[in-house]
Chains A and B, each alone.
Chain A
Amino acid sequence: MSSSLIPDESLARVGEVLAGPVTVTIDVREAQRYAYAVGDENPAYFDQAAAEAAGYRTLTVPPTFITHAIVPPRPAGEMRTDGLYRDGTGVRLEVSRMMFGGEEWDFLADVCAGDEITATTRLAALDQKEGSKGPFVRQVRETTYVNQDGTEVARSRQIGIAK
């Protein structure tokens, strides 16, 4: 049996809130900058009449934009050498590197410009598994997004495989 890659203190954190709740207002210009950066010129993001014809209350936003809308402003002094910000929400693991990741999203209700979205991220799962090349850790961080009416608009799961 291989030694554990997951310290007990990290296993005990499953279910814990890692970030949030944080509330942001969906900003139409940020969303449009994001859409253009993706190369997505969906008229429903830019044209009110097109958005309404598509059944949206007002301009809508790219589906996964909400995960970027909640990124907080951070001072430059909190950046690491690689450019990433020091992450206080990291879970300690006995691994060398991230192998690959993935995401799963459920989109439950429309998100529109001006909506107030509250996001909360939890450590949903932390498992050690045996692969063909040895043990690896699967970590799942789940974020729920709720709008100003208390309606859950989306759920995302970020999955990381590390060894």
Chain B
Amino acid sequence: MRTTNQITIQDVAVGDRLPVMPKAASEAQLFLYSAASFNPHRIHYDRAYAEFEGHADLLVHGPLQGSWLTQFLTDWAGPKGRLINVNWQNRASAYPNQQVEFHGTITAVDPSTGEVEIDVHEQTDDGQVLMPGTARVRLPLGEES
């Protein structure tokens, strides 16, 4: 859900957890992402081929999970926040029609610059970590929102 309030550096502290963001993709959404990213790789839309290559099912694209992660951060940062750094590692596959969750915990706060460091990860709903990472967000300082 998009936040309508603008979060500022005054509102955050080390240890704070970001609201968990759920995501899931249907087969049609995987196809749409392949189209929108100009990617014809069959493992994302041709189930028989994905299984022939040894996968359990169609695969959710790594970059799609990356964009889910950036959305998790930009939604939390609000309109005036800016994502300034993100990194992730794709450790295990995600599949269509499987709910995943994005989690974040604040690890550092700099009130003078508005920069926040966050440990992030994508996991299945039973706790398997698919994609760990970190991020830095710059929030407004809070004098004028």
Contacts and interface: CB of A to CB of B under 8 A. Distances in A.
Given A39-B23, A82-B53, A100-B91, A34 B70 contact: no
B96 interface: no
A137 B80 CA distance: 40
B63 A64 contact: yes
Contacts of B80: 54-55
Interface stretch (A9-17, A40-48, A117-125): A40-48
A15 B90 CA distance: 25
A40 B85 CA distance: 19
A31 to B, nearest CB: 9
B36 A63 contact: no
B107 interface: no
Contacts of A41: 2
A94 interface: no
A42 B91 contact: no
B75 A42 contact: yes
Contact of A34 (B36, B68, B82): B36
A127 interface: no
Contact of A103 (B36, B75, B87): B87
B71 A101 contact: no
B66 interface: yes
Given A42-B71, A43-B2, A50-B79, A104 B42 contact: no
B36 A68 contact: yes
B32 interface: yes
Contacts of A33: 35-36
B37 A34 contact: yes
A37 B29 contact: yes
A100 B90 contact: yes
A63 B29 contact: no
Interface residues of A, number: 39
Interface in A128-163: 159
Contact of A62 (B25, B39, B67, B133): B67
A64 B65 CA distance: 11
A38 B86 contact: no
A145 B67 CA distance: 18
Interface string A48-75: 0010011100000011110110010000
Contacts of A40: 67, 71, 74
A103 B40 contact: no
B90 to A, nearest CB: 5
8 closest cross-chain pairs (CB), A and B: A54-B79, A102-B89, A104-B87, A37-B36, A83-B42, A83-B40, A37-B33, A40-B71
24 contacts: A33-B35, A36-B32, A37-B29, A37-B33, A37-B36, A40-B74, A41-B2, A42-B71, A50-B79, A53-B79, A63-B86, A64-B70, A65-B67, A67-B63, A68-B38, A82-B43, A100-B89, A102-B88, A103-B66, A105-B86, A106-B85, A107-B83, A107-B86, A159-B89
